[in-house]
């Protein structure tokens, strides 16, 4: 058997929908997904920008890395379908960490960094964010992106966010929940929008 080429490993978890003849519902999953490189997740979009003076259509082209989207739509259905016979579709996926298998340093956007990497970035940015206060890694990523884009606006909203996180932590402790709450739609949307262009 040939030795597998080295690439990257994406550690992720989430929830999928299952369906059998008798029942349907959701189940959690945790999985390591291997891929050749981050470039494997490169997507290109075109946006219609109108016409030029000669009536020719103009398009703006943008390339970006879309790991979460391709995991959810394309790759996890293959892997989860192979592992679980009752798999129907992915509900959501959270990227916990992206690792290089050949010990090279990956230049990861904020949206793909692990919690320790984010904590180091917070320290480097001197941001008033405590990574340990966050139950949802996507919310931490969103807050770092917002701090980088507009620190003043971030600071105006910080006390409300801190209060919400404290309430979530209390709720989880009171109900003896170990797993973090699923990402909020706002955090998922803002994290997706924050993916950096290559």
Is the full-model pTM beyond 0.85? Answer: no
Whether 85 and 139 map to the same domain: the answer is no
Domain boundary among 85, 106, 127: 106
Angle at 32 between CA 29 and CA 33, to 5 degrees: 110
66 lies in the same domain as 35: yes
Interatomic CA distance for residues 43 and 62, integer angstroms: 8
Q: What separation in angstroms does the CA of 146 have from each of 9, 13, 142?
A: 27, 24, 6
Residue 60 CA from chain centroid, whole number: 25
Same domain, 98 and 43: yes
In a domain, 183, yes or no: no
29 with 96, same domain? yes
Please check whether residue 182 lies inside any domain of the structure: no
Do residues 17 and 76 both lie within one domain?
Answer: yes
Q: How many domains does the chain have?
A: 2
Six-digit token string for 69: 């989207």
> What is the rounded (10 degree) CA torsion for 146, 148, 8, 91?
0
Residue 169: partners with Cβ closer than 8 Å, 6 or more residues away: 133, 135
Within a domain: 85: yes
Last residue of a domain, one of 91, 106, 121: 106
Query: Who's near 129: CB < 8 A, 6+ residues apart?
Result: 122, 140, 143, 144, 147
pLDDT along the chain (198 residues), means of 10: 76 94 94 92 90 89 90 96 95 91 81 90 92 85 92 88 82 72 48 40
Same domain membership, residue 43 and residue 3: yes
């Amino acid at each position: 058997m040939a030795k597998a080429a080295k690439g990257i490993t994406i550690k992720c978890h989430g929830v999928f929908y299952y369906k059998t003849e008798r029942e349907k519902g959701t189940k959690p999953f945790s999985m390591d997904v291997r891929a050749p490189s981050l470039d494997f997740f490169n997507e290109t979009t075109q946006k219609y920008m109108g016409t030029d003076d000669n009536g020719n259509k103009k398009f703006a082209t943008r390339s970006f890395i879309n790991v979460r989207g391709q995991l959810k739509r394309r790759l996890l259905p293959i892997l989860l379908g192979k592992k679980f016979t009752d798999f129907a579709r992915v509900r959501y996926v959270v990227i916990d960490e992206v690792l290089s298998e050949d010990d090279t340093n990956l230049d990861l956007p904020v949206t793909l960094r692990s919690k320790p990497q984010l904590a180091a970035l917070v320290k480097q940015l001197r941001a008033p964010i405590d990574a340990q206060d966050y139950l949802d890694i996507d919310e931490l990523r969103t807050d770092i992106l917002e701090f980088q884009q507009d620190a003043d606006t971030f600071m105006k909203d910080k006390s409300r966010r801190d209060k919400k996180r404290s309430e979530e932590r209390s709720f989880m402790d009171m109900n003896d929940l170990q797993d973090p709450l699923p990402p909020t739609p706002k955090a998922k949307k803002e994290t997706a929008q924050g993916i950096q262009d290559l």
